[in-house]
């Protein structure tokens, strides 16, 4: 199956700093990428949908100025958590799809963010 | 708006016994339905999907799921559980529209005892 890679897998940052998480589709061009957030033992909550070359569409309740999403190319999307606070600590997962992948959406391995 | 319900937080089965993890959905139009599995501190692994065709879908690791339109259900099944099947299972739905995201159920923890 298609491979989606996330980096970093784990990151610890200080309160008030910003951290960037990358999501790459390694063997296909991802026309659409999705960012999810997951708290321990809970479901995945959709944060935003990004299409290459256009602004991301954020779900209700997600602060777009805090969670900056960029999808500058067909193989890379980035999530930047700005001015991070401890409550932003979470597991962030990206996923990607394209028209050729049918209706299957492929997921990255996720990124653990801990804000201290 | 689409939604998914997984009524059980946890399912416990003995190794070798059949297992069922329940899922019901709500979506406008024809649903695209998926099952994913998540191991601790890992991303999601795709198990199977229903788009159209046969109601019984076979997927990875011996899992299968049956689409029941009248009951709006898509229960995950396996004839003989393994201890290694113990994990968190998510049912997901997406609308029949390109570029739409998956909406997930809350997840069901499967625990298989030896």
Q: Please state, in angstroms and rounded to a whole number, the distance separating the CA atoms of residues A14 and A34.
A: 26
A23 is written with which tokens?
Answer: 């999501």
For B12-47, what is each residue's pLDDT tens digit? 999 999 999 999 999 888 889 999 999 987 888 889
Query: Which is it for the CA torsion B97, B98, B99, B105, positive or negative?
Result: positive
pLDDT above 70: residue A101: no
Residue B90 touches chain A, beta carbons under 8 Å: yes
B1 is written with which tokens?
Answer: 């708006």
Q: Quick one: pLDDT band at residue A100, thresholds 50, 70, 90? A: low
Q: Please state, in angstroms and rounded to a whole number, the distance separating the CA atoms of residues A91 and A28.
A: 24
Using an 8 Å Cβ cutoff, are A8 and A19 in contact?
A: no
Mean pLDDT of chain A: 90
Using an 8 Å Cβ cutoff, are A84 and A17 in contact?
A: yes
Asked if A46's CB is within 8 angstroms of B46's CB, the reply is no
Residues 42-101 of A with CB under 8 A from B: 42-44, 46, 49, 51, 91, 93, 95, 97, 99
Predicted local distance difference test score (pLDDT) of residue A12: 96
């Amino acid at each position: 199956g298609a491979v989606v890679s996330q980096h970093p897998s784990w990151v610890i940052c200080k309160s008030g700093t910003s951290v960037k998480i990358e999501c790459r589709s390694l063997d296909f061009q991802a026309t659409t990428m999705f960012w999810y957030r997951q708290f321990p033992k809970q479901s995945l909550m959709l944060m935003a949908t990004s299409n290459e070359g256009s602004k991301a569409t954020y779900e209700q309740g997600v602060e777009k100025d805090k969670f900056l999403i960029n999808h500058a190319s067909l193989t890379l999307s980035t999530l930047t958590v700005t001015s991070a606070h401890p409550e932003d600590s979470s597991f962030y997962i990206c996923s990607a799809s394209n028209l050729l992948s049918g209706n299957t959406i492929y997921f990255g391995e996720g990124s653990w963010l801990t804000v201290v | 708006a689409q939604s998914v319900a997984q009524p059980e937080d946890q399912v416990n089965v003995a190794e070798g016994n059949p297992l069922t993890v329940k899922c019901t959905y709500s979506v406008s139009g024809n649903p695209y339905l998926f099952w994913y599995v998540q191991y601790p501190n890992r991303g999601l692994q795709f198990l199977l999907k229903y788009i159209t065709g046969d109601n019984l879908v076979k997927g990875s690791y011996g899992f299968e799921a049956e689409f029941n339109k009248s009951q709006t259900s898509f229960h995950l099944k396996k004839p003989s559980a393994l201890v290694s099947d113990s994990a968190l299972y998510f049912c997901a739905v997406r609308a029949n529209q390109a570029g739409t995201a998956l909406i997930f159920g809350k997840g069901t923890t499967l625990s298989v005892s030896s």
